[in-house]
Structure formats: structure tokens, C-alpha cells
Chain A
Amino acid sequence: MLPTSNFNHQSSQPLPFGQGLAKQWETMKKIPILSAVTLLSSATICNADALELEDFGGRVRVEHSSQTHNDYDRSLIRLQPEWELSYGDSTEIVFKPRVLLSPGQFDAAYNDQVERSEASEIHRYNDYVSADPFELHLQTRVGDGYMTLGKQQVFWGAADGLRVMDLVNPVDFRDFIMAEPIDSRIPLWMANYQRRTDWGQLQLLWIPDNTYSDYVADPDGYFLTSPKIIASPPPSTTAISVEPLQRPDGDWVEDADYGAKISRVVDNWDLSFNYLYHYNDEQVVRRRWVGDEGLVSFQPSYERTHTLGGSFSAASGQFVYRGEYAFDSHRYILSEDIQQNQGIERRQDFSYVLGIDWYGWTDHFVSAQLFQSVISGNDEGLVRDKVDSTLTLNFSRDFTNQIWRIEGLFLYSLNDRDSAFRGRVMYDFDDRLSAYLQYENYAGNSKGVFGQFEEKDRLMLYFDYFF
């Protein structure tokens, strides 16, 4: 669920270039862990002789997209340089900022970042340029393990495209679900400790960054309308009011997310067991009548949950079998009757993905997945079914020594009978320059998660230049 970000736009004032990062730095220092990063980084930088530049490079992406049902075009240049610095034998600093140039696209009315903490805001400098640190972390040896401090991405699970256990980082839905995970996952400020143990690889996470999935506010973009996700007012509503979003207070202990993972290989099986105590990345929107004048008040907030799950994968002959599963203690589902529990029902949820990859043809990859979410109790009055099922198919093939590549991704909801498709052709000019032609299609029930974008099919051409 998300909605109020769509109703309650909070436009930010453009910041002079440089002041945005300075502001973010001040915010970071309010959080002890981030201060630790600062101190460690400072200590490192003080002894500049020992600091070595291990690698510098990056990517420039120039893209242009056109929606086929309307005249909404988007041009974007993404600059993503990367620095890797080392200090001694066991300390490394990685900095991967991201700068976006979007000529003629910016509309301050929709520059809404209510889902992001101050420390993870994207800073807009003028109508054309925005930037954020994206990834900035320091990794060093601590005891028998390694500590990674800073803004980073952590991947959990074994599924492609569908999030069951991959819940550590929220998602930027600027391109709905069509962007690559590395670009759509929002890196968070966190402490990430990993070490080998007798039981396997242990990972402990402490995430004081209260940033959640970022949804599009611009109706011309991938603005969500599906009633399965968006809280809507009853038909007799004459007016609505949207209360301020109730965010966690930012307390670095009480409001932080905590996670643990243990992973190991047993015989032919890759196994992981995960636990995350966290805020759901989607807003919970409570609705209530105010007075007798048909006014409905929307109250958005973020709510906590415990998620316990795991993942597995194994190879056998030409096939790889994989999956992940999760039990969610608090899942908030929209209901149609706002007089009962303010239009929200709290349930438990068990979700899983089963996938099979086939490698039977040389230079081909074929994969299928079944995703199901099962909520406790019955689904009477809810906007979703008790069991929600989605199928995915994924195909790719390389040609001529990987100079050409074609890919297809198809998602189909068995409940709503709507679908999403992404087809892509890639051509490598040389080691530095690649071109992509991508087509995205949405079809089916317009109330479904995919079908809501049936008028937003898109053709995209983009070039990646690596330096």
C-alpha cells in the first residue's frame, strides 16, 4: 500500500550544488553508526599516505523512453562513477554516487520524498540535476569477520524479480518493476557484519535508516492506481483529508530494523535462514469518516513486522531448483469497509517462490517461477484474495560471442489475469559501449498490479558507456 505520497505532495526546495550533500552529512552524524563511519573514514583519510586508490571508473547511461499510448517521453542521463580506496590490508572504502540529469522533466510538485529518511534523500540542485551518494561504505576486518558500515545494498533470497525474502533494501519504483535490481534497490545506511561460523556464514544487520519503498507521485509516470495497493475513498465521499505521514521517530535503537542470516551449503543445496525485524516498506493507510459531511480522513503510517524465512537452491543435471519462503507476522490488507478497523485488516502472511531454471540449450537460459502469498483468515471484504498467485517466465539467449543478447521477462497474475512483459535486445559495440532496445507491455485487468499500467506501455532506447 502507499497512497498518501500520491495525495500529499511535499515539494523540496532546490539546493545549491554541494549543500545537499552537506545537509546529508549533518543528518548522518545524528546517527551513531554513521558517525562511526565518519570517524573511521576521517581517521583513514588523516593518514592519506596509507590510503590508496584501488579503482576508479563508472558508467554513463543515456536513455530515452516513450510511452506508446500517450505523448509522455522521458530523457535521462545517469552518471555513476565509482571509487574504491584501500587502507592497509583489510580496509576498503567504496563510493558510488549517482547523478541524474533530466532535461525538461522536473516538476517540483511531484518531488516527493516522504518515503526517504533525510540521510537517504535524493538532492535536487535545479530543474535538471539531482544526486545522491547511492552507495558509500567502509569495510574493515572486525574480529574474525568483516564489518561493512555505510550506505549499501544487501541481497537476500533466491528468486528473480519477486520479493519474498529480499526485503532488506526498499525499492525505487520510478520504473515500476522494470529496472535492474542494482538500480532500483535503495541502498540504506546500515551496519553489516559477516563472519564464518561452524554453522555457516553468519550475517547480522542493524539498519537505523528509516527509508521505505519510493513510489512515483507524477501521474504521467508509474503512479499506482490499483485498488489492491492504493487506499481509495468510499463512493459517498465528498472530500478527503490526508493526515501527515506517521514515520518512525528515527530512534537509532527502537526504530531501527534488525536482521540475521545464516547460510551454508549442505551437500548439493545452498540454504539460508533469515530473520528480519523491520518496518514494512509499504505505507499502511487507515481511513475514517470525519463528521457527517462525507469527509474521509486518510492516515498513513509505517508498521512493524517480524519476517522469518529462508531460501534454497540446488542443481541437478540441466536444471536448477530454487526458492524462498517467508512468514510475515503483521501484514496489513486494505478492506472495502472503512467503518471496520478503519479499512485495514491485520493478518499473517506466508509467501513463497518456487523456481526452476533450465540450461539444456547452449547459450540459452529459461526460467519459470510460481509466487504465492497466503494470508491468514478469510478474504471477505478484502481487496485481495486469500491466495494470490503470480507466474513468471524468463528467457535469454546470447549470440555471436555475447555481442548480441535477447531477453524476455513475462509476469502473469493468476488472480487478476493481468500481465507485464519486458523484451530487450542488447548489442555490445565494444568493451565500453553497449546499446539496449527495450519494450514494456502491460495488459489485462486495470485493477490489477500489472494491468493498472495498460495505458503505459513503453519503448526505451539506452546506451551504456563504461569508463
Chain B
Amino acid sequence: MKSRIGILSLLLGACSQAMAIGIELSDMTEAEKEALSPREVMLANEASRKSITEQSNMKMTLTNARGDKRVRDVLMLIDDSNQLARKTYLEFSSPRDVKDVRILTLEKEEITEDDDRWLYLPALKRVRRISASNKSESFMGTDFSYEDFEIADGVVGSKNHEYTLLREETIEDALGVEKHCWVIEAIPVTEHQIRESENSKRIIWVDQEHFAAIQEHYFNKNGELFKIRTSSDVRPYPAEGGKTVWRPMRIEMTTQATGHKTTVLLNDFKVDEGIPENVFTRSYVANQQL
């Protein structure tokens, strides 16, 4: 999957592609918005939130059905300078039992190739190569899978899906703010996507004001709704080239079967401030030396 609006589905910087299909986000009139196809809406969503790099300190709160909480603090660095192959570096700073766990994922340009992924475990003082093929694996005990960290509906990912506009409706986001949305159904259509994805279908609510995907329903291979994501507190950030990107600062994923949920708050969020290239290397994961 090359583009997904999930938690870390950050701004994919696909402005050029968006414009290539005739989308000018900032100047778009209501009539032009009305004329967008479902796929163009998803590309606009990508364009509205994509930067070249981004960094933030994520606070991930895991809450079970009884209300018991666990909190993880994670530094997240992303390099989208290659629009076809995202680089993601994650480093845990708390709690103490996972402190210094580091994960590097380098996507491949070819969608049929598995990503490269390394995991540094401080308990072993060792970098371990791990398989990136099982994308439904839970990310460090959260309700997000590794697939949710990828970008599902952008320039590349959208080619693997068929999009249908189900309806337009106004809903409240997770903070109670009303948003008028397109409600779009995304169904994987390529053999690779059908085989590799944990989803048989997704329904996405895209805010018509900033093209932010404020809600998403995930259906498993049995066609059952199994996870719901909400995104809120959408804020503008100045990005390279004078553009403005719109990003949700609060993202929540709930697993329906267990009632367990993970709430992510993005703190100290920055875009396009430059991240040293060496950060996205195996040796940096091993010893944090640039």
C-alpha cells in the first residue's frame, strides 16, 4: 500500500501530481470541488498534507476497555523526498522498558517489493533485520498496524484501489467540530494489494474544507468492521515552496472487538526543516551516530 490516511499518513507532497490532474487546492472553488472524482479527492487529501520531511514527538496513549492506560513517547522522523519511497525513523523515549527501541523502515519504489526494516533492541544492544511483509503486525502493542504507517491513497497507492463516492454528509470530528465530508469507499483491486493488505475495504470521511481525512473505517478480510480511526485538531503548517499543509494533531484508533484504543498526540510538529540523510540508515539505528 503506498498511501493511507492513517495515523502517520502524513502529507505526501503530491502537489505536482495533484496539479497534474487539475487540482489547485488553495484556489479551488466549490464547483471545482463538486467536480472532483473520488480518486481525485484522495489525491487532494494527499496533496493537502504532504511535506518533504516532518518530525514530531508523538505521545501514544494505549487504553484498554477497562480504562487502564499505558503511555509511549516516540520521536518520529519522516523523509518523503522520494515520493515513491518513504523513509520513517521511530525512536521510543518512554516508558523505560522500551526506551531506546528504534525502528527504521525504508519503502521500496516498486510496490511488489517488501520494505526494508530494522529494529534496534536495547536489551540485546543489537540491530535486527525484520520482515516487513506482514503489515498487519501490531505496532509495538498499539492499535495501529505497520500498514497504518504507510500511505495508502496517494499517487502510488491510489492505483491499487477503486474509489466510490458513497455520499456527502456532515459529521462531528473527535473534538466535536462539525465537518462537511465526502464519504469514499476504497477497495483494493490489484492482486498484490488484495493479498498483502489486512483490509478488504475502507470507508474514508474527507473534510471538504482542508481535504483532511477525519475518519476512517477499516474492514477485515471477512468484511467486518474491525478498526475505526478518527483525526482531529487539524492545523496548518508552512511547508517548502510557500505551500501550507494541513495536519491532524490528534489521531485515535479503536479496535472494535476489544474496545482497546490508541490515542496519538503529535507534539512539536515541524515540516520541511531538514533531517540529516544519515538518520535513515542502519548504522544510525545501531549507534545514533551521524
Residues in chain A within 8 A of chain B (CB atoms) = 57-59, 145-146, 153-155, 158, 180-182, 194-196, 200-201, 263, 265, 268, 270, 313-320, 322, 357, 359-363, 398, 400-403, 428, 430-432, 434, 464, 466-467
Report B75-134 residues with CB < 8 Å from chain A CB.
94-97, 99, 114, 116-118, 122-134
Residues from chain B with Cβ under 8 Å of A196 in the complex: 278, 283, 289
CA distance A263 to B284 in the complex (A): 12
Partner of A315, one of B94, B131, B138: B131
Least CB separation from A195: chain B residue: B289
Residues of chain B at interface, number, CB under 8 A: 44
Since A270-B127, A398-B138 are in contact, a sample of 13 more A-B pairs with Cβ atoms closer than 8 Å, ordered by chain A residue number, is A180-B123, A181-B123, A195-B289, A265-B281, A313-B128, A313-B129, A317-B131, A318-B131, A363-B138, A401-B141, A403-B141, A431-B97, A466-B95
A149 to nearest B CB, angstroms? 15
* Shortest Cβ distance from B143 into A: residue: A401
Asked whether B134 lies within 8 Å of A359 as measured between CB atoms, the reply is yes
CB distance from A138 to the nearest CB of B (A): 14
Q: Chain B: residues with CB nearer than 8 A to chain A?
A: 62, 64, 68-71, 94-97, 99, 114, 116-118, 122-134, 136-138, 140-143, 258, 260, 278, 281-283, 286-287, 289
The smallest C-beta distance from A161 to any residue of chain B, in angstroms, reads 10
A431–chain B nearest beta-carbon distance, Å: 4
B142 touches A401 (CB 8 A): yes
Cα separation A319 to B131 with both chains bound (whole Å): 6
- Could you list 9 examples of A-B contacts with CB < 8 Å? A153-B125, A158-B129, A180-B124, A196-B278, A313-B129, A319-B131, A357-B131, A431-B70, A467-B96
Output the least CB separation between B276 and chain A (Å).
12
List B contacts of A317 (CB < 8 A): 114, 131, 133
A195 to B282, CA, bound (A): 13
Q: How far is the CA of A428 from the CA of B96 in the complex (A)?
A: 13
Partner of B131, one of A57, A359, A431: A359
- Would you give the shortest CB distance from A50 to chain B, in whole angstroms? 21
Known: A401-B260, A432-B96. A145 touches B289 (CB 8 A): yes
Chain B residue at smallest Cβ distance from A433: B97
Q: Is there contact, CB below 8 Å, between A270 and B129?
A: yes
Q: Are A268 and B116 in contact (CB under 8 A)?
A: yes
B residues near A322, Cβ cutoff 8 Å: 129
- B70–A428 touching, CB < 8 Å: yes
A residues near B289, Cβ cutoff 8 Å: 145-146, 194-196
Residue of B nearest to A313 (CB): B129
**Would you call B126 and A155 a contact (CB within 8 A)?**
yes
CB of B162 to closest CB in A, whole Å:
26
Cα of A316 to Cα of B112 in the assembled complex, Å:
12
Contact, CB under 8 Å: A401 / B138: yes
Contact of A430 among B68, B114, B128, B130 (CB under 8 A): B68
Chain B residues near A430 (CB, 8 Å)? Answer: 68-70
CB distance from A166 to the nearest CB of B (A): 9
**B125 and A181 form a contact (CB under 8 A):** yes
Q: Which of B69, B124, B129, B142 has the most chain A CB atoms inside 10 A of its CB?
A: B129
Measured CB to CB, the closest approach of chain A to B129, in angstroms, equals: 4
**Which chain B positions have C-beta within 8 A of A319?**
131
Contact status A402-B283, CB under 8 Å: no
Q: Return the contact of A466 from the options B97, B117, B127, B281 (Cβ within 8 A).
A: B97
A201→B286 CA distance, assembly (Å): 10
Q: A59's closest neighbor in chain B, by CB?
A: B96
Least CB distance from B253 to A in Å reads 11
Complex interface: chain A residues within 8 A of B125 (CB) = 153-155, 181-182
Complex contacts, B129 vs chain A, CB 8 Å: 158, 270, 313-315, 320, 322
Q: Which residues of B contact A400 (CB under 8 A)?
A: 64, 258, 260
Inter-chain CA distance A467–B71, complex, in Å, is 14
Between B70, B123, B143, the greatest number of chain A beta carbons within 10 A of the residue's beta carbon is seen for B70
Minimum CB–CB distance from B142 to chain A (whole Å) comes to: 7
Residues of chain B within 8 A of A403, CB atoms compared: 64, 141
Chain A residues within 8 Å of B132, by CB: 315
Q: Tell me, in angstroms, the Cα distance from A430 to B283 when the chains sit together.
A: 32
Complex alpha-carbon distance, A270 and B138, angstroms: 25
Taking a contact as CB atoms under 8 Å apart, the answer to whether B133 and A359 are in contact is yes
Question: Bound state CA distance, A154 and B126, in angstroms?
Answer: 9
Chain A residues near B286: list those with CB within 8 A.
201
Chain A hits for B68, CB < 8 A = 430
